[in-house]
Amino acid sequence: MWNFGDGGTEQADNPTHVYNSTGVYSVKLKAFGTVKNDSITKTITINPYDIFAHTDLHFAGTYACKVVRANIVYGGSVTKVRLPDQEVSITKESNSTLNWNTTKLTYLPSNPNSPQLPDGSKYTFSFPYGPTSPRFEAYASFYTAGDSANFIAREIISPSGRTETTYYGKRRP
């Protein structure tokens, strides 16, 4: 009988277990025999996942961006305007956060059942919007096919529509 220290138990010979939170856990294995029972307990530490250590992509740097702003009316029109090129600065802040200019973005897992794994084609970081109107949200998606990224700043003006500014970036060497 396995007890994983987070409320999870298992009776398989070679179980797998996923920890949903960082921390220190006491894992206990108790074996039952016909004559004797025995147990052993080990302490394990689950550290925060460092997305930057598990990818060959280097997110930090300066991105030269083409910029497009779209005004979107719900149930109606979309107006796109090409804005002047801009630069976006990305710096690492912690194991799973980065700074887009002055906005802090956090790694957004692509699969809630595998929160440590990106979806394979891109790594997405986000700044979630708040409950008030207008709301602001920001995303940065870094693509594994090269040094390209999209940065999206969205202002939602409820209930009529939203303004979305997309930066199509290429990281400078």
Residues 159, 74, single domain; the answer is yes
Q: Which DSSP category does 113 fall into?
A: T
Task: Give the CATH number for residue 67.
Answer: 2.40.128
Closest C-alpha among 106, 60, 86 to residue 165? 86
Same domain, residue pair 119 and 69 = yes
Residue-wise pLDDT for 9-39, tens only, equals 999 988 988 888 888 999 999 998 888 999 9
Same domain, 141 and 64: yes
**Average pLDDT for residues 143-169, to the nearest whole number?**
82
Asked if residue 159 and residue 97 are part of one domain, the reply reads: yes
Same domain, 77 and 13: no
Task: Tell me, yes or no, whether 31 and 73 share the same domain.
Answer: no
Do residues 171 and 149 lie in contact, with contact meaning Cβ atoms separated by under 8 Å? yes
**Cα–chain-centroid distance for residue 14?**
30
Question: Nearest Cα to 153, choosing from 88, 94, 57, 107?
Answer: 88
Determine the structural domain holding residue 28 and report its residue range: 2-47
148-157 pLDDT, tens digit each: 888 888 887 7
Please tell me whether residues 120 and 150 are part of one structural domain.
yes
Confidence band for 109, pLDDT divided at 50, 70 and 90: low
Residues 148 and 129 both lie in one domain: yes
pLDDT of 113 > 50? The answer is no
72 and 21 both lie in a single domain: no
pLDDT over 90 for what percent of the chain? 33
Number of structural domains (the chain) is: 2
pLDDT computed for residue 139 by the predictor: 84
Task: Please check the confidence at residue 147 and state whether its pLDDT lies above 50.
Answer: yes
Within this chain, do residues 84 and 41 fall inside the same structural domain, yes or no? Answer: no
